[in-house]
Amino acid sequence: MIEPPQKPPRFGFTRGDRFIPYPKWISDVLRLGLLFPLAVVTRGMTLGAQVLVRNTDGDVLLIKQSYSAVWQFPGGGVDRAESIYEAAERELKEEAGVLCNSPPTLLGLYTNFSTFPGDHVAFFEATDWHQPIIPEPNAEIIAQGFFPVDDLPENTARSVRRRLSERIGNVEIACEWTPSTD
């Protein structure tokens, strides 16, 4: 199936369970007038880590951020003087209360230029982990949960569906985090 190129991300906020996007012109001003120029001045490349976590039933851990309308893997940006592995483990702990008993396995490195010029995503899988607590919803993470691979929430990110198809299905691995065609 061929899909049109992914649209740039929309900015907004979440009220209750509903994502309310800012008007397109505000999103464009934020993305093009602030974020892109800031990234070009401060760094030529950004790097993030996202982590696949499955429970004993094979269900997948997904989180929902207050500023995004989609369910996605836990993850986030790599901080200065932090390794990519440390970032993956830190994000799992902060967003989902998941602690790794051993380092997660690096599955791939993807470009994410449709979202941000120079952006890259390292994709990991945590197989040896425990979750002593489930954090309460907060200003950043409003929900989390384990979902069966064949029954993901309707508004699950295309990138999540693609990575799961690559890992579990028989789909060729893409170089882009969210490829324009699936």
Nearest by Cα to 87 from 104, 65, 101, 72:
104
E-strand ranges in 3-77 read 12-15, 18-21, 46-53, 60-65, 71-72, 75-77
Residue 154's pLDDT is 92
Report the alpha-carbon distance of residue 175 to residue 65 in Å, rounded: 25
Asked if 31 contacts 7 with a C-beta cutoff of 8 angstroms, the reply is no
Is pLDDT at 97 greater than 80 in this prediction?
Answer: yes
Nearest by Cα to 53 from 90, 94, 105:
105
Average pLDDT over residues 73-100: 96
Residue 16's pLDDT is 76
Token reading at 36: 């892109």
Token reading at 170: 């028989």
Asked if 104 contacts 88 with a C-beta cutoff of 8 angstroms, the reply is yes
Biggest CA pair distance of the chain: 46
State pLDDT tens for residues 114-131. Answer: 877 788 999 999 999 999
Tally of CA atoms within 13 A in the half-sphere of 73 that contains its CB? 27
Is pLDDT at 3 greater than 50 in this prediction?
Answer: no
Is pLDDT at 164 greater than 60 in this prediction?
Answer: yes
Report the alpha-carbon distance of residue 135 to residue 125 in Å, rounded: 21
pLDDT band at 36 (very low <50, low <70, confident <90, very high): low
CA distance to 7, 58, 70, per residue, from 65 (Å): 19, 23, 8
Token reading at 174: 């893409």
